[in-house]
Amino acid sequence: MRFKYLLIAFLFFITKTFSQEKQEVLFTIDNEPFYAQEFINVYKKNVHLVSDSTITIKSYLDLFVDYKLKVKEAKELGLDTLPKFKKEFKSYKNNLINSFLKDNETTKKLAKEAYDRLKKEVKASHILIFLKPEATPADTLAAYNKLIEARNLILQGNDFVKIAKKYSQDPSVQQNGGDLGYFTAFQMIYEFENVAYSTQVNTVSMPFRTKFGYHILKVFDVRDSKGEVEVAHIMLKGDDVVSKKKIDSIYSVLKKNQVEFTSLAKIISDDKASAVNGGKLNRFSAGQMVDEFSNIAFSLKEEGEISQPFKTQFGWHIVKLLKKYPVESFEVMEVGLNQKVERDSRSNLIGKSLTNKLLKQYNVAVNEKALHQFEVDDWKLNSHKFDKKLLTINGKVITQNQFINFLKKNRFNSVKQAFNNFKEQEVLNYYKENIEFTNTEYATVLNEFKEGLLLFDLLENKVWNKSKDTINIDAFYKKNSKKYHNRELETIKGTVLVDYQNYLEQKLVKQLREKYEITFNTKVKDHILNLKI
């Protein structure tokens, strides 16, 4: 499947900047118009990909016409009505819509915020009270008040660790006293990260909510980021005298270069997950490992440098520095940051930003009387009474029954909260239903794929499947044997197959040029051929 998509993209690109405004017809095929600007954009997009330096704008125009002829033929044959085509096109269409459900301006803003945070590392501890998203107002208030109580005790001078062990419901609190160590952007859920980076050192935050419940946190330190490192390690479990002697002997062997680190790690290390890779670990930042391990790894200066044996809660280690990754410039990291932002919980802000823009852009009207009925009448027992218009979006009517279906599938604390979510959902649905007609960029990309898929299917039926006929290939070879210098077919099978496919495609194009009437707008054509593109 991936091969098909790559081939579709290669067969013909249509640039995303194509505009339908002020279009001049370049040519028609049986009175169907094709526009000059589309051809110019395609030429600009693809001319540098063509390895043949003799290609001219005129010869490229011939290719463009041939391309449109093939697409037209595919439609005439009804290839776009086949179930296989419809299924594949629908799948692509749905995936494409997802890439347009975002606000690029908000994405960039969040990426820049994340970059600024990546340059710092925060050391914090927290106290957590679990609370389900659908918790009642009473349970929510109880959790909040409990954390206010804990916070007041800390502010009065009580030890954070003792208070954390008494109040926190975090399962790890009895081991770490709520200590999270150092962390940076993307290592905590976004709501938690926000509070951590906005709380002053040695101060305790007010209670705040995440998907896990309510938290308070105390920031103990903020330092410049150390970036990331990539290391390999050898680990021995145990902290007895025997383990210490064994790790020391391994270190001695390594220092004398008597054996290669990778080979030794594969044989000796008790960390089996990394041992198979010669002890190599994924690159990490300072806060992603226990402090003892992290401090040693980041203290190494030169690539290839090996640490002395040291102990953590997991056992004894020797670490070899493979590479350091300092925080690079925003320009270098921007693409990767955008991708992380879109995968991270902060991506909810991107979708929310788009929804807010659409709510301002569309004519959205709420029937307040119909909405109030949900407050005074039981929709579960009397759903037959709920048959009124509830909401309109640019004239599209959404009924009370549709809202009831939404309520049945989702849980909310109040009708008001549920309706706000329902309204946002319907606004996004309206956007998706009409995007093909309102967003030129989307329509162009979708058309690009549709035409490419049609072209693929046509060539598959008319060229590639036919080229599997060995009798016809053999006849083609014999007819053109001089071209191959009388070599045996088996020795040049690939070349003959490609030549035969080209022959079939050229034959198809010739038939299509005879079948359809092509009419050029001479004035526009001459203008294009004289352009210096």
Q: Look-up: residue for tokens 């493979």?
A: 322
Measured distance CA(251)–CA(25) in Å, rounded: 77
Please, is 229 exposed, middle or buried when counting C-beta atoms within 10 Å of its C-beta (0-12, 13-18, 19+)? buried
228-325 adopts what CATH topology?
Chitinase A; domain 3 (3.10.50)
pLDDT at 149: 97
* Greater model confidence, 201 or 478: 201
Is residue 8's pLDDT more than 90? no
Is residue 381's pLDDT more than 70? yes
Smallest Cα–Cα separation from 126: which of 195, 53, 63?
195
Q: Which of 114-123, 212-221, 316-325, 457-466 has the lowest mean pLDDT?
A: 457-466
* Greater model confidence, 489 or 104: 104
In this structure, what are the phi and psi dihedrals at residue 215, rounded to the nearest 5 degrees?
-130, 155
Is residue 15's pLDDT more than 50? no
Q: What is the mean pLDDT of residues 374-386?
A: 91
pLDDT at 489: 63
| Buried/exposed code over 237-251 (b: 16+ C-beta within 10 A; e: otherwise) | eeeeeebeebbeebb
3-state secondary structure string, 318-382? EEEEEEEECCCCHHHHHHHHHHHHHHCCCHHHHHHHHHHHHHHHCCEEECHHHHHHHHHCCCCCC
Q: Which two tokens stand for residue 394?
A: 């640019």
pLDDT at 49: 63
Residues pairing with 182 in the sheet:
123
pLDDT tens figures, 406-424: 999 988 878 898 999 999 9
Is residue 522's pLDDT more than 90? yes
Q: Which two tokens stand for residue 378?
A: 């039981």
Q: How far is CA 176 from CA 150, 172, 494, in A?
A: 17, 6, 66
**pLDDT range class, residue 321, cuts 50, 70, 90:** very high
Q: Look-up: residue for tokens 């906005």?
A: 198
181 torsion bin: left (phi>0), alpha (psi -120 to 50), beta (else): left
Domain boundaries, the chain: 2-76+465-529, 120-224, 228-325, 345-437
pLDDT at 22: 53
pLDDT at 7: 46
Q: What is the mean pLDDT of residues 279-283?
A: 95
Is residue 95's pLDDT more than 90? no
Q: Which two tokens stand for residue 398?
A: 């959404």
* Greater model confidence, 195 or 494: 195
Q: Which of 166-180, 344-358, 487-501 has the lowest mean pLDDT?
A: 487-501
Is residue 490's pLDDT more than 90? no
Measured distance CA(247)–CA(308) in Å, rounded: 9
Smallest Cα–Cα separation from 111: which of 307, 312, 342?
342
Check if 120-224 and 228-325 are the same fold: yes
Q: What is the mean pLDDT of residues 262-274?
A: 94
pLDDT at 6: 44
**pLDDT range class, residue 467, cuts 50, 70, 90:** confident
Q: Look-up: residue for tokens 């040693």?
A: 296
DSSP letter for 399, please: E
Give the SS3 label for residue 530.
Answer: coil
Give the SS3 label for residue 247.
Answer: helix
Is residue 294's pLDDT more than 50? yes
Measured distance CA(74)–CA(55) in Å, rounded: 27
Q: Are 505 and 460 in contact (CB under 8 A)?
A: no
pLDDT tens figures, 237-267: 988 889 999 999 999 999 988 789 999 999 9
Smallest Cα–Cα separation from 267: which of 237, 234, 316, 230?
234
Run of H or E residues at 312: strand 310-312
Measured distance CA(389)–CA(371) in Å, rounded: 9
How many other CB atoms are found less than 10 A from the CB of residue 86?
11
Q: Domain 2-76+465-529 is in which class?
A: mainly alpha
Chain-centroid distance, C-alpha 461: 34
pLDDT at 317: 96
Is residue 21's pLDDT more than 50? no
pLDDT at 5: 46
Measured distance CA(69)–CA(14) in Å, rounded: 16
Q: Look-up: residue for tokens 């606004």?
A: 427
**pLDDT range class, residue 351, cuts 50, 70, 90:** confident
Measured distance CA(61)–CA(43) in Å, rounded: 8
pLDDT tens figures, 52-88: 556 788 989 999 999 999 999 999 999 999 999 999 9
pLDDT at 488: 67
Measured distance CA(298)–CA(224) in Å, rounded: 13
Q: Are 64 and 42 in contact (CB under 8 A)?
A: yes
* Greater model confidence, 220 or 11: 220
DSSP letter for 218, please: E
* Tally of residues, the chain: 533
pLDDT at 293: 95
Q: What is the mean pLDDT of residues 230-239?
A: 93
Q: Look-up: residue for tokens 């951590």?
A: 196
DSSP letter for 310, please: E
Q: Are 454 and 469 in contact (CB under 8 A)?
A: no
Give the SS3 label for residue 174.
Answer: helix
Mean pLDDT of the residues in the chain = 89
Question: What architecture is the 120-224 domain classified under in CATH?
Answer: Roll (3.10)
pLDDT at 486: 66
3-state secondary structure string, 69-114? HHHHHHHHCCHHHCHHHHHHHHHHHHHHHHHHCCCHHHHHHHHHHH
**pLDDT range class, residue 32, cuts 50, 70, 90:** very high
Measured distance CA(293)–CA(314) in Å, rounded: 10
Smallest Cα–Cα separation from 320: which of 230, 228, 225, 226?
230
What percent of the chain is predicted at pLDDT more than 70? 93
